[in-house]
Amino acid sequence: MQPFEWSTATSISDAVKSQAGAATAQQGASVRYIAGGTNLVDYMKLNAETPRKLVDINGLELNGIERLPDGTMRIGALARNSAVAHDESVRAAYPVLSQAILSGASTQLRNMATTAGNLLQKTRCVYYRDPSTACNKREPGSGCSAIEGHNRMLAILGTSAHCIATNPSDQNVALMALEATVHVTGVKGPRSVPISAFYLLPGSTPQQETVLVPGDLVTHITIPALPEGARSGYLKLRDRASYEFALSSAAVVLKVENGRVAFVRIALGGVGTIPWRTPEAEEALRGKAPTAEHFRAAAEVALRAAKPQSQNAFKVELAKRCLTHALMQASQQA
Amino acid sequence: MAQETQTNPKPMFESKVIGVSTPRIDGPFKTTGTAKYTSDHNFPDLVYAWPVTATISSGSVTGVDTSQARKMPGVVAVYTHEDIGPLYRTPPAAGFSMIQDERRPPLEDAEVRYYGQYVGVAVAKTVEQARAAAEAVRVSYKQTPLNINGTLLGTPLSTPSMRRGSHRGDAAASFEASAVQHDAVYKTPSATHNPIELHATVAVYDDGRFTLYETSQAIVNHRDTLAAVLGVSPENVQVITRFLGSGFGGKLWPWPHSALAAACARNLNQPVKLVVSRSMMFQSVGHRPAIDQQVKLGAETNGKLTTIVHNYVNHTSMADDYSEGCGEATALLYSCPNVDITSGMARRNVGTPTSMRGPGAVPGLYAVESAMDELAVKLEMDPVALRLLNEPEKDESSGKPFSSRHLAECLKVGAEKFGWSQRNPAVGSMKNAEGMTVGWGVAACSWGAMRIEAKAMVELLVDGTARVTCATQDIGGGTYTTFAQLVSHETGIPLQKVAVVLGDTRLPDGPISGGSWTTATITPAVLSAAQNAVKALVQVALRAQHSPFAGKSEDDLELVEGVVRLKADTSVALSQEEVLRLANIKAVSGNAESRGTLGAHNDYSFHSFGAQFVEVTWQPEIARLRVSRVVTVIDAGRMLNPRTAQNQIEGAVVMGIGMAMFESTEYDERTGAPINASLADYVMPVNADCPKIDVTFLDYPDYHLNALGARGVGEIGMAGVAAAVTGAVYHATGVRVRSLPVRIEDLLVPAHGHEVA
Ligand SMILES: Cc1cc2nc3c(=O)[nH]c(=O)nc-3n(C[C@H](O)[C@H](O)[C@H](O)COP(=O)(O)OP(=O)(O)OC[C@H]3O[C@@H](n4cnc5c(N)ncnc54)[C@H](O)[C@@H]3O)c2cc1C
Ligand code: SF4
């Protein structure tokens, strides 16, 4: 770990100012906000992240979780993962979000981890974390060690010739299916970004993971109300029963009316370079009867573009089973 | 010193402590955080060492640039192979001393033979500064081609040909002639020991003398080995391990960090602490090697075994020979006229392997017991019945009778407890209450029992307490408690009044904590030492001034519950305190030394046995496999402390589940780096993966091994688990996994009868 400076932000504008001068808010950022620290500090210890300065934002009052009059849920950037997952109104309105968060990490980590920190957590690709290896995400232009190496955990959707790393988050998969909006305050003031436009595919610049620019502080996220009668759920498949990242996961929102799928949103985790929304699969389901065959057919559509790597071809079938089963579960809820 | 006495053990039924579930006497220290583990030792002027590790696995160091590192804050020194100073190789192991798996001292030369090998070390005032400096050292290399090929059988060996092990009859001919044949290769990957406590050394140097606080499962061997490496005499090395955060075999023999820390302390004349990082744990402190095992079984159509062939190759490092004894149990588990076991080693650019819990038998029985399960399928025979049919009368490899063997009873009791008679052998045919598919598997297991040499001393003190000392160590299994139980049993002094002092080489030489030998080994030494201490106390009682026993002889007296009394008239009595106060003696002591069975002539074949019954649940719709139930029945002699013994079996079963389902150290083929070298990436069972584990001990004392009939339970519980799991997986899914661990991708195939090798 390289030596770094520590400062404490006393206001949002103070925080924004302290990061504004940095060259990038992406990989290689010289100034980083620190929230729970559960991702950032780990990676600093491994020299995968090498900020010169940390700005502690924990003093900012950004931890509220509230239901706005129009039914929108507003979750502060610093709301702890455990607080969100156990919040009564979140559990009632968005079971998928609560389930997704609780399926991740451990109790201790969730007690520290924050909404924004989770939103911005880095990939678990083993090469990204090992500075003795080539990695385009960590060191642009150095090459990708994973493509011909250990890639069992990595992505099959949204990959490029430069990077195949998975976005490892569970929370973000749920947020994708819930069409959340990320609210950011930057040098030019506040703005909001729909989550579908928040993450960037790796392409030839895998070091750029989001649309954030220097100074941008995530202040909160909002989640629109779901249609009356919609069910939601999260299913995560992994090597062991707990405390492990997804090999494949699915967040689904489903409303069945008169024996037909009236509303559906699907996002996949563990398989995409970003939390993976699949409008085509949703389209394929709309108006169909909620049967295992139709769900499986939608899953086929969702994985149509899958491009497996040397060790993870199994994820294609696994993701299909995962999505099919998640939809089955949602359709069977009372 | 007195020799052990086999005579006159206390009859079992009288004991208030032997065979009684006893909480660990050191438990409160651990639960209150006052137990001082190795890296908890601190000294004034202590500095921290952090190794510089190779990022290639084959080649040599061509240059080391330490200039930047030396300038960094807090840095005291940076050493490389050019200036670390003298470190010697140990002479070849002799009996149970000078054992070391990696025999090259650290920084001996510029050669690099595995990824993570130490190529330098930085020393600084804080651990963070040392780590930062080590990372700032720039090393350049000349690389040579590396070999970490995961295929072992059929690739070039370290020796001209396979080494022949136990054999009898004519296996080749009988296999050809067998009515039913099974021939398959079973693969187990490299596995890394991951005790929570990292390996560590705190080295204190004072005028030619080293005090080494170590994470060691064998302090006496560590002392002798490090003395040789450091080039000093053994009396100038003291090794201390008061508490160990477990080792699983990985901490049996010294690894290079120990010599590195000691050399830094010597060079700087300052105490040095070196804690090996978690990722280094995957590189330079041993691992269970990858192994390929071919098993050929031949049988008559009624299931009677005619042939067992077991050929296996394990990987070893470029510089050292580590051979995994996979065939140990194969030779004696079943009755079979034709047996042939051969083994070999194949060199790879990996760190030197070492023993991991149940070395040899654990991977060996995975292969042999899987083959038995496959044979049972071919024979259309129940796998429990197949094993019972082939139960031997004696150890057919040595011709000796077993000291105590109850494998058949283990199988029968286990089958009963598990409900085995309900098993429908058809693949995928069984469902649980929730409608999930279940699979049931079984395996037998065996583990050699042994005693090695040990010395111990027992003192009886004027304050009415006892103190027992021995240079062995408690690695977490409950050895402190066993010592207290033994002394309390022999002297009648209550457990609470027995102080146990272990983990320091200034004490009488004790055994290694390995091989599950500790209990069997210390029992005779401690009982004899206690008897000798009691004799000494009686002598004092007879001779003390104004003794009420004046004129009596030793035979007239007895010590009962801390009171010396006349056998003929028990009202004539003096407490231990009174005797010693009367004589103005602070303490009397008894020493004893017991011999080992290792290398000695034995009339019996000493082994423990057991049976593992496993249930898995399988949800094909989400490819979810879980171990849902385990029944384990163990025949390992008398349980001195059923409570800690049960802990050992439960923990071992969990490790067995890890072996079957999760654990695998993966190497990057291009660099030789263990790529999943962290607790996040090296998957092991967590609590949610641990099913209900039902442990039964048959509790037949093995009096041929020692007076209390105790064998040992540290390893046997892990043997057989992986085979029972893969058998259950086959029963549930139709997929036969012959390459561990069982992974989701192995099970995603829709069809039955698939094989994964
Ligand atoms: C052992 C382990 C297991 C895990 N398992 C899982 C799992 O199964 N599933 C899963 O989803 N996750 C898992 N995680 C990851 C965990 O969810 C993340 O570490 C956590 O969510 C990060 O939150 P944090 O607040 O600690 O972030 P930090 O580490 O504080 O920050 C992470 C990043 O976000 C940036 N950041 C933080 N807040 C803001 C803000 N307000 N505005 C702009 N930038 C900000 C930081 O600068 C940094 O770049 C695991 C982590 C560990 C260590
Ligand atoms: S997959 Fe991405 S993160 Fe992993 S090594 Fe390649 S470039 Fe780096």
Quote the tokens at residue B209. Answer: 């003398």
> CB of B623 within 8 Å of any CB in chain A?
yes
**Share of residues in chain B with pLDDT > 90 (%):** 92
Judge whether B132 and A2 are in contact, CB under 8 Å: yes
Quote the pLDDT of residue B8. Answer: 41
pTM here is: 0.96
How many residues are recorded in chain B?
A: 757
Residue B93 has pLDDT above 90, yes or no: no
Task: Verify whether ligand 1 is closer than 6 Å to residue A269 (CB atom).
Answer: no
**CA-CA distance, A242 to A271, in Å (whole number)?**
18
**CA-CA distance, A218 to A171, in Å (whole number)?**
16
Under the banding of pLDDT at 50, 70 and 90, the label for residue B751 is very low
- Report the nearest atom of ligand 1 relative to the CA of A49: 49
What does the pLDDT look like over B187-209, one tens digit per residue? 999 999 999 999 999 999 999 99
DSSP class of residue B7 equals S
Residue B46: Cβ-neighbour burial (10 angstroms; 0-12, 13-18, 19+): middle
Of residues B544 and B185, the one with the higher pLDDT is: B185
Report the side by side order of strands in the sheet with A73-76: A65-67, A73-76, A217-223, A181-186, A189-194
> CB of A1 within 8 Å of any CB in chain B?
yes
**Share of residues in chain B with pLDDT > 70 (%):** 97
Mean pLDDT of the A5-23 span:
97
Torsion of CA B367, B368, B373, B379, to 10 degrees: 130
- The residue among B46, B45, B64, B44 whose CA lies nearest residue B54 is B64
Judge whether B468 and B484 are in contact, CB under 8 Å: yes
Quote the pLDDT of residue A334. Answer: 59
Q: What are phi and psi of B35, to 5 degrees?
A: -70, 125
Report the side by side order of strands in the sheet with B587-594: B498-502, B466-470, B454-461, B587-594
Set out the domains of chain B in order of their start, with CATH numbers.
2-35+451-594 (3.30.365.10), 397-447+606-756 (3.30.365.10)
Question: Which one of B675, B681, B683 has the shortest CB-CB distance to A240?
Answer: B683
Under the banding of pLDDT at 50, 70 and 90, the label for residue B95 is confident
Residue A302 has pLDDT above 90, yes or no: yes
What is the separation of C-alpha B455 from the centre of its chain, rounded to a whole number of angstroms? 21
- CB–CB of A1 and B132 under 8 A? yes
* Helix (H) / strand (E) containing A88: helix A88-93
Question: In the beta sheet, which residues pair with residue B167?
Answer: B340
Quote the pLDDT of residue B2. Answer: 38
Mean pLDDT of the B433-448 span:
97
**CA-CA distance, B7 to B480, in Å (whole number)?**
25
What does the pLDDT look like over A81-102, one tens digit per residue? 999 999 999 999 999 999 999 9
DSSP class of residue A148 equals T
Of residues B754 and B368, the one with the higher pLDDT is: B368
Quote the tokens at residue B266. Answer: 């010597």
Task: Give me the CATH code for the A231-333 domain, please.
Answer: 3.30.390.50
Judge whether B319 and B104 are in contact, CB under 8 Å: yes
Quote the tokens at residue B271. Answer: 């105490």
For residue B686, the chain A residue with the least C-alpha distance is A242
Residues of A with Cβ-Cβ distance to B745 under 8 angstroms: 313-314, 318
Question: Which one of B662, B669, B670 has the shortest CB-CB distance to A240?
Answer: B662
What does the pLDDT look like over B632-650, one tens digit per residue? 999 999 999 999 999 999 9
What does the pLDDT look like over B197-256, one tens digit per residue? 999 999 999 999 999 999 999 999 999 999 999 999 999 999 999 999 999 999 999 999
Quote the pLDDT of residue B9. Answer: 43
Judge whether A119 and A171 are in contact, CB under 8 Å: yes
Any idea where the domains of chain A sit in the sequence? 5-56, 231-333
Sign of the four-CA dihedral B171, B173, B176, B177? negative
Quote the pLDDT of residue B96. Answer: 76
- CB–CB of A237 and B623 under 8 A? yes
Please list the helix, strand and coil fractions of chain B in percent, rounded to the nearest 5, in that order.
Answer: 25, 25, 45
**Share of residues in chain A with pLDDT > 70 (%):** 100
For residue B666, the chain A residue with the least C-alpha distance is A150
- CATH class of the domain comprising A5-56: alpha beta
Mean pLDDT of the B486-496 span:
95
Task: Verify whether ligand 1 is closer than 6 Å to residue A170 (CB atom).
Answer: yes
Q: What are phi and psi of B415, to 5 degrees?
A: -60, -40
CA distance A307 to chain B (A): 16
Question: In the beta sheet, which residues pair with residue B756?
Answer: B737
Quote the pLDDT of residue A160. Answer: 98
> CB of A296 within 8 Å of any CB in chain B?
no
For residue A140, how many other CB atoms are within 10 A of its CB? 17
Quote the pLDDT of residue B756. Answer: 56
Task: Verify whether ligand 1 is closer than 6 Å to residue A209 (CB atom).
Answer: no
Residue B294 has pLDDT above 70, yes or no: yes
Mean pLDDT of the A35-48 span:
96
- Between the CA of A306 and the centroid of ligand 2 the distance, in Å, is 18
Judge whether B368 and B332 are in contact, CB under 8 Å: no
Mean pLDDT of the B503-514 span:
96
Under the banding of pLDDT at 50, 70 and 90, the label for residue B10 is very low
How many A/B residue pairs have CB atoms within 8 Å? 73
Select from B129, B655, B745, B749 the residue whose CB has the most chain A CBs within 10 Å, as the one to mutate to test that interface: B745
Prediction ipTM score? 0.96
Average pLDDT, chain B: 95
Diameter over CA atoms, chain B: 89
- Between the CA of B676 and the centroid of ligand 2 the distance, in Å, is 15
Q: Same CATH fold, A231-333 and A5-56?
A: no
What does the pLDDT look like over B598-623, one tens digit per residue? 777 889 999 999 999 999 999 999 99
Q: What are phi and psi of A304, to 5 degrees?
A: -55, -40
Q: What are phi and psi of A184, to 5 degrees?
A: -125, 140
Residue B97 has pLDDT above 90, yes or no: no
* CB contact set of A221 (below 8 Å; sequence gap of 6+): A74, A75, A77, A115, A116, A119, A175, A180, A181, A182, A183, A195
Angle subtended at Cα B265 by Cα B261 and Cα B271, rounded to the nearest 5 degrees: 100
- CB–CB of A242 and B621 under 8 A? no
Rg (CA), chain B: 27
Average pLDDT, chain A: 97
- The residue among B244, B213, B263, B259 whose CA lies nearest residue B512 is B244
- CB–CB of B688 and A247 under 8 A? no
Residue B750 has pLDDT above 80, yes or no: no
A221: left (phi over 0), alpha (psi -120 to 50) or beta: beta
What's the one-letter identity of residue A280? Answer: E
* Helix (H) / strand (E) containing A258: none
What's the one-letter identity of residue B493? Answer: I
Return residues 37-96 of A near B (CB < 8 Å). 47
